[in-house]
């Protein structure tokens, strides 16, 4: 069974601080996606990383795919209250199915 | 707004009952996938439909079934409801060839409570 472990499960920090969320697996994925989900809404895709070692930036968010395509990280610089939400990673396996992590609930306090 | 609409948004059922959830996919999309998201958890893949055929299924029992219609809208049916079926059910549409997932666009979900 393929699993994606996300850590931390919960993070509450002050506005302006930096943070990193991790997504780890023993399985190789063809690509990995990061989503953000607000209460009462479905997940919204932030980014897809495809190549081992790939780094993508989305304003203050930096996404990295591990060299072996088994893990990924999301780093937020100078977090703002608007970054509050549930962050989910999902790996695309060889059957083109998404394997989801359990999510990181992030709260940024003003 | 993703263009994916789900109905109903909330519903309450009792154990043993049956439920049908509906999803209208984004215009131009031919693939619909369904997910179950328990409180505090990530989504779990139920199944996927591509051009009216099921082409992938997660670890869910046969009492979870589905349909995709010629207009690519979809239904999720759950029979003999159990308390553990209480969850947010998410539908996602995408443009896929041979099941390869393109970008997923999610609806807001149907919140099912089983008493």
SS3 for B54-115 is EEEECCCCCCEEEEECCCCCEEEEECCCCHHHCEEEEEEEECCCCCCCCCCEECCCEEEEEC
Residues of B in contact with A105 (CB under 8 A): 40
Is A6's Cβ below 8 Å from some Cβ in B? yes
Task: Answer whether B90 sits within 8 Å of A88, measured CB to CB.
Answer: no
Q: Strand runs (DSSP E) across A15-103, as ranges?
A: 19-24, 31-37, 44-49, 55-58, 61-65, 71-76, 85-92, 98-100
C-alpha distances in Å from residue B30, one per residue of A67, A108, B79, B94: 33, 38, 26, 7
Interface of B with A (CB under 8 A): 2, 4, 33, 35, 40-45, 48, 56, 58, 90, 92, 96, 99-101, 103-104, 106-109
Flag residues of chain B having pLDDT under 70: 1, 97-102
Q: Is the pLDDT of residue A67 over 80?
A: yes
Which residues in chain B are closer than 8 Å to A88, comparing Cβ atoms? 42-43
Residue A12 pLDDT > 90: yes
A90 to chain B: which residues are within 8 Å by CB?
A: 42-43
A98, pLDDT greater than 90: no
Please tell me the predicted confidence (pLDDT) of residue A95.
Answer: 72
pLDDT of residue B95: 80
Query: How many other CB atoms are there within 10 angstroms of residue A70's CB atom?
Result: 18
d(CA A92, CA A99): 6
Kindly report the average pLDDT of chain A as a whole number: 93
Cβ-defined contact of B42 to A90 (cutoff 8 Å): yes
pLDDT computed for residue B102 by the predictor: 66
Q: For residue range A20-66, what is the model confidence (pLDDT) as tens digits?
A: 999 999 999 989 999 999 988 889 999 999 999 999 999 999 999 99
Q: Are A102 and A87 in contact (CB under 8 A)?
A: no
Q: Are A88 and B4 a contacting pair at CB < 8 A?
A: no
């Amino acid at each position: 069974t393929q699993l994606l472990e996300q850590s931390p499960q919960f993070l509450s920090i002050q506005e302006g601080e930096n943070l990193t969320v991790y997504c780890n697996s023993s399985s190789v994925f063809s690509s990995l996606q990061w989503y953000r989900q607000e209460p009462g809404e479905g997940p919204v895709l932030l980014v897809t990383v495809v190549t081992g070692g790939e780094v993508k930036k989305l304003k203050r968010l930096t996404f990295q795919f591990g060299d072996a395509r088994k893990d990924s990280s999301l780093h937020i610089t100078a977090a703002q209250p608007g970054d509050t939400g549930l962050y989910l990673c999902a790996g695309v396996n060889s059957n083109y199915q998404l394997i989801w992590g359990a999510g990181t609930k992030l709260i940024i306090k003003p | 707004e993703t263009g994916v609409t789900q109905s109903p948004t909330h519903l309450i059922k009792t154990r043993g009952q049956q439920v049908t959830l509906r999803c209208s996919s984004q215009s131009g999309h031919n693939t619909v996938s369904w997910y179950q998201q328990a409180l505090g958890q990530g989504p779990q893949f139920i199944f996927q439909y591509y051009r009216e055929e099921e082409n992938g299924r997660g670890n869910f029992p046969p009492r979870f079934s589905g349909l995709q219609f010629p207009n690519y809208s979809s239904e999720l049916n759950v029979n003999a409801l159990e308390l553990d079926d209480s969850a947010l059910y998410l539908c996602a549409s995408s443009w896929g060839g041979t099941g390869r997932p393109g970008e997923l666009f999610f609806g807001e979900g149907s919140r099912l409570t089983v008493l």
